[in-house]
Amino acid sequence: MANRVSQGGLAPSSQPTAQHRAELRAFRVCGKRALDPTWAGWVPGWEQVRPLAAFSSERHTLLISFFSVLLPLPVVRRLYEAGIVLLFAVVAVRSWRTRGAGPTVRELAFGFALSQSVELLAVQHGRYDYPDWLVYFPPHPEWVPLGVGLGWAAIVPVVMRMSERILGQAAPAAKLAALDGAMAVGVDLVIDPAVSGEPLRMWTWRGEGMTPYRAWLLGVPVFNFVGWFLLVAACGWQLRVVERRSQGAQRWWRLGLFLACDLIIATVVMRLPW
């Protein structure tokens, strides 16, 4: 059972039965009381403290006692995936309205192309894995979900605009980029431990054939946070340099050149002993 779930395999969920609801009520009442191991005992470390949530591997159901809500785990996963696409759409519309078509398309396209390519490289290098997402891009091999690249593409312009408001639009591109990266890491320190850990496991850091990590923070490899900083900072710096110093079609050529350089650097970074 544990193996099936740790490999990311999710069977169709079923509705919680009256018995499970009763057990959940008991769980809520007893707070930190350990659950019956025959029911939910497979989760590594579950027996320590899970005061607000319980997870039944038997039915792959995430039972959330908080607010008495019961949500099947696959539903939470799909909601998360759909939510990213929705956020991307919102950011795209906002950027289109306030900055116009040209900068919007360049920022979103470059953000998506760079992040999706780097993610593909990382998965190929066995750094992490994205099991059981709905839509992958490219569809074969099923390595990186479309939502991941779209999520990056949505975050980059948001932190870029915030940095420009904080430091001023005329600030040096490198300084703005460093702030972009720091802000992205700031929010990822909450996102990644919650989403990549049990029981959601939207992405996994350990597995057969994957590269082991040495340094961890909050259950997430330090490599991840360094990667977030580098990727967002590089994206922000390169987009600003191109917007400030190039015109017309030259911008696309320069972005293409930056993309190629970034992929070389990313390959080197991924080979380091993290």
Contact predicate 118/185, CB 8 Å: no
26 binds another protein (CB under 8 A): no
Among 108, 114, 153, 159, binds another protein (CB under 8 A): 159
Q: Cβ of residue 48: shortest distance to another protein, in angstroms?
A: 10
Which structure tokens are listed for 102? 């040209």
Distance between CA 145 and CA 135 in Å, rounded?
Answer: 6
83 binds another protein (CB under 8 A): yes
Contact predicate 121/83, CB 8 Å: no
172 binds another protein (CB under 8 A): no
Which residue, 154 or 269, is less far from another protein as judged by CB?
A: 154
What kind and span of H or E run contains 216?
Answer: strand 216-217
Among 5, 91, 120, 177, binds another protein (CB under 8 A): 91
How many residues of this chain bind another protein (CB under 8 A)?
43
Contact predicate 219/197, CB 8 Å: yes
171 binds another protein (CB under 8 A): no
Which residue, 199 or 262, is less far from another protein as judged by CB?
A: 199
Among 10, 86, 158, 230, binds another protein (CB under 8 A): 158
Which residue, 114 or 154, is less far from another protein as judged by CB?
A: 154
Segment interacting with another protein (CB under 8 A) among 1-9, 48-56, 116-124, 126-134: 48-56
Within 8 A by CB and 6+ apart from 125, the residues are 211, 267, 270, 271
64 binds another protein (CB under 8 A): yes
Hey, is 90 helix, strand or coil?
Answer: helix
Among 70, 105, 189, 210, binds another protein (CB under 8 A): 189
Distance between CA 49 and CA 46 in Å, rounded?
Answer: 7
Residue given tokens 């005992």 in the structure block: 41
Per-residue buried b or exposed e for 194-223, using 16+ beta carbons within 10 Å of the residue's own CB: eebbebebbbbbeeeeebebeeeeeebbeb
Residues 210-249 that bind another protein (CB under 8 A): 218
Question: Which residue type, as a one-letter code, is found at position 145?
Answer: P
Residues that bind another protein (CB under 8 A): 49-54, 62, 64, 66, 71, 76, 80, 83, 87, 90-91, 94, 98, 155, 157-159, 161-162, 165-166, 168, 182-183, 185-187, 189-191, 193-195, 197-200, 218
